[in-house]
A and B are shown apart, each in its own frame.
Chain A
Amino acid sequence: MGNIFKKLGVGLAVGGVLVGIARSQSVPADFQVLFLVIALIGAIIFMLLDAQPIGAMSGGKSLVSVVVFWVLLITVYVVGPSLLPQFNPEDEKAKIGKLLEKERKNSAQGKADELIARVKALDAQVKALEDRLKGVGGGQVAATPPAGEKPPAAASASAGDFMKVGEEQWQLQECYNCHKLRGEGGKKRGPELDNIGALLTVDEIQEKIGNPKSFMAEGYEKEWQKGIMPNKFKDLMDPKEMQALAAWLGTFKNASVNTPKPIKKN
């Protein structure tokens, strides 16, 4: 028992010192807990190292001990991972839903779903027509614009939509995992892009996305960095989406951010 208290005391003292140092340096609380837990695991290990040996058990007693040990392991291995932060699949589902939207529509199942949706829509229209006919009131019919006539704001709205498509592609293709933009994302894997619009034309940005080796940013020319940008985006985006992404990136002309100069390679 003395062994246990002594080791526990040392473990708590070591953990306390680690937590104290971490707290004084403004290390977040989660890390402080991690350091304390490891110090306590250390205490348990040293308790076990110096524990008195256990003699052989009888068959029945062994069986019960093994079952209890299994239950303990199962509990720890189910509960332990649940204590860590959990990724919310709903965030990803929405993204993947958008990425696969076209393919899903084109699939056999997608086409069937679309037909069902159309039938339902037609059904609803028929019902609406029936209601209107029953009412026989001309004033009740909503005024619809003649075919081919677009609302006046349509042109600017479509430009805005185009930029939205570009921004959406930035999110969907997870470009932020490697590139910092507007102070968000990036881990220095790729260059910061806040001034890319001042350094490359929209066409050149599009060329870089489609063929990553066409331009190399200054400071990113080491051999292992050359193939780091995946050469897959032209297969994952259609030309319009890629154009939209390039156009959206082309609007970033913030000279205060040090976006490295891209150099034409091939």
Chain B
Amino acid sequence: MKKLSSGLLALMVLFSLCVAAVTNVYAQEVGASSVEFPYTGNRTAVWIVAQLHILFAAFILGAPIFVVISEWLGYRKQDPRYDRLAREITKVTVILFSMTAVTGGFFVFVLLAAYPQFTTSFINQFYVVFAIIYPALFIAETILMYAYLYTWDVWKGEKKGRHIALGVVLNLVCLLILFVINGPTSFMNTPPKAEGVSPQDFIAAASLWDKIANQSWFPLSLHRIDGNVAFGGFIAGMIAAYMYMAAKTQEERAYYDWMGFAAIWIAVGGSLLQPFTGLLLAYEMCDYDFSFCPYMMADQLSMFFEMQGVMIGLLFLGINYYSWLSVKRIEGAENVRMTILAPIVLVVLLPATMWVMNKYWIPDPMSLAFLLPLALSPFLFGRFIPMTVSARTVIKIGFIVMLASDAVWLTPAGFVATGTDMPDELKLPEGWDFLSSMPAKLSAILTLVFVTVVNYVLYNRTIKQGTILWGKIDFVSQFVLIFLAFTSTWIMGLMGAVRSLLKKYFHAYSLVSDLSAESFTPTLSYSAGWITAITVFFIAIVSLAVLVALRPSVSRAREPEGSAVPVAAK
């Protein structure tokens, strides 16, 4: 009830902000440029609503992907837990679906109030998208989403395939929406251009497709697809944690322990791809305009990236700590062993990758010729080497390697706000400066991903050789699940701010200047405050949705059949 009232209060504050601003808009003279949002200012007001909208949208676009995978797994394995997981997440998704629409509406209001001239011209650029394609797809998604939820009980048994097919169609529409709306979004960062023609002239002659298929459109869409899957998984993990904590019976605890485990598996799958699609996006943006690169890595946003390193380091540590806690509750885990090549490669990988990357920079195939055999050697040659070490030792070595990788990732050229203004006494001395180079950062990311893959291979092997005691996991793991959801939401907020700030003093880069007094790079401290506030608001609304959709009385009333779940299962 406390959460409900705080959520409503926050919504009311947000609504009153919008009403105040919109009222001011109508009070203005014709031709006046904009209104001033109280307390936040215009840019931050747009940022808050846009980020909230993106978070809800990311969840409702990402969740159906793993919902339908989960339903399909349940059908294939004849395991009712997957079906229950899929259904529970769908219930929460439907509630958050309406929040997506509400925040989307707010977003348009706030944007129109804050930047009426730019918004009007921007809508004109994409009027077919905003007036026809997007609403049509959104309506189709709404119909499909509700049809998917309400046909769950009708299309079961022999008709289950039909229901899964409906889920697949829903996902296709979700993906289409993502690709369509990423067109205008990415356009603001990288509007299409051509040599010898002014940006304004080129855009005036460009077709809608030219504007949508700009240079960062596809990489942004890819990055958002795997990001949404990972995000959906982390949020589902948090939902499982809440339900585990509130569970009254051992049977319920066993189910929600399993749900957390399944959600994190899916989230990890998405997370492992994130660094690579993120790099692809950064590469395309720097290729579009190289000045983005120093702005991000060495200049005004350098400490934002320092913070990103901290957060992703913590995220990977959290993921692997959860898998450690999961292994701890498996009976027989202590007997699981792995080839000695695994810890050797773990230790060698970071320095080896740094050396190779410095010598043969990607996309030089020589870098792959060195690194692929090294990374795959435990899996390819391990069976031929009789020496083994325990799974727990390998995981602990993995943690040390992760800490070393984090240290490399977090070492900047200097702890200063901008690289252009760096006194020598704050710089890394010669001989140490390789730690701040891009090859070092890339090596650190690759090593973090590799350690996580090894841990999950080990985890899988332990599951097969031991017995999982569902519902018996260390209670701390539930806080890890909440931590992962909070952190991944925060990272999305941070990187969303970075992507938007990359436009510098433009609304649409090089095309439409932001003439307001707010067109400058805010401090990391200011940004972090708002990112945290947005994260808290989002997590609070999700918690409220869980309370409404999955509280025990609702679950019991709607699911009297309650499938039996074994406490111990292989």
Residues of A within 8 A of B (CB): 25-28, 30-31, 34-35, 38, 41-42, 45-46, 48-49, 51, 53-57, 59, 62-63, 65-66, 69-70, 73-74, 77-78, 80-82, 84-89, 91-93, 96, 99-100, 103-104, 107-110, 174, 176-178, 185, 187, 189, 227-232, 235-236
Contact = CB atoms under 8 A, between A and B. Distances in A.
Nearest to B248: A59
B561 to A, nearest CB: 25
B426 A30 contact: yes
Interface in B490-525: 490, 505, 510, 513, 515, 519-525
A91 B417 CA distance: 12
A49 B399 contact: yes
Contacts of B195: 231
B498 to A, nearest CB: 13
Nearest to B530: A78
Interface stretch (B352-360, B368-376, B427-435, B445-453): B427-435
A65 B427 CA distance: 42
A113 to B, nearest CB: 11
Nearest to A42: B403
Nearest to B416: A85
Please report whether the interface of chain B is mostly helix, strand, loop or mixed according to DSSP: helix
A38 B521 contact: no
Contacts of A235: 198-199, 510
B399 A86 contact: no
B294 A177 contact: yes
B400 interface: yes
Contacts of B255: none
Contacts of B390: none
Interface in B284-328: 287, 289-291, 294-295, 298-300, 303, 306-307, 310, 317, 321, 324, 328
Main secondary structure of the interface of A (DSSP, over half): helix
B505 A99 contact: yes
Contacts of A42: 399-400, 403
Given A30-B426, A82-B525, A86-B417, A229 B321 contact: no
Contacts of A65: 479
B525 A57 contact: no
A26 B504 CA distance: 36
Contacts of A30: 414-415, 426
A177 B278 CA distance: 23
A51 B476 CA distance: 10
A187 B399 CA distance: 34
Most buried by B among A51, A54, A85, A235: A85
A108 B33 contact: yes
Contacts of A69: 479, 482-483
A92 B474 contact: no
Given A53-B474, A62-B246, A189-B290, A108 B524 contact: no
B100 to A, nearest CB: 23
Nearest to A81: B528
Contacts of A85: 303, 415-417
Given A53-B328, A81-B524, A100-B513, A230 B289 contact: yes
A110 B490 CA distance: 38
12 contacts: A26-B429, A28-B427, A35-B407, A62-B478, A63-B245, A70-B482, A77-B528, A81-B525, A85-B303, A88-B523, A174-B294, A235-B510
B233 interface: no
Contact of B298 (A46, A56, A177, A236): A177
Contacts of B539: 70
A84 B431 contact: no
Contacts of B527: 81
Given A31-B411, A49-B396, A25 B432 contact: yes
Contacts of B407: 34-35, 38
A77 B101 CA distance: 28
B519 A87 contact: no
B32 interface: yes
B519 A96 contact: yes
Contacts of A228: 290
A57 B476 CA distance: 10
Interface in B440-496: 474-476, 478-479, 482-483, 486, 490
Q: Identify the 3 closest CB pairs spanning chains A and B, nearest first.
A: A81-B528, A62-B245, A30-B415
B125 interface: no
Given A53-B329, A73-B486, A235-B199, 11 more contacts: A27-B428, A27-B429, A28-B426, A84-B307, A85-B416, A86-B523, A92-B520, A93-B520, A176-B420, A177-B294, A187-B294
Nearest to B525: A82
B411 A25 contact: no
Contacts of B414: 28, 30
Contacts of A174: 291, 294, 299, 420
A30 B299 CA distance: 18
A3 B261 CA distance: 28
A187 B528 contact: no
Contacts of B532: 74, 77-78
A28 B428 CA distance: 7
Contacts of A46: 396, 399
Given A38-B403, A86-B303, A109-B515, A96 B520 contact: yes
B114 interface: no
B423 to A, nearest CB: 10
B426 A177 contact: no
Residue from B242, B307, B523 whose CB has the most chain A CB atoms within 10 Å:
B523
Nearest to B396: A49
A265 to B, nearest CB: 13
B31 interface: yes
A75 B429 CA distance: 34
B158 interface: no
B406 interface: yes
B409 to A, nearest CB: 10
Contact of A177 (B420, B478, B490): B420
A77 B531 CA distance: 9
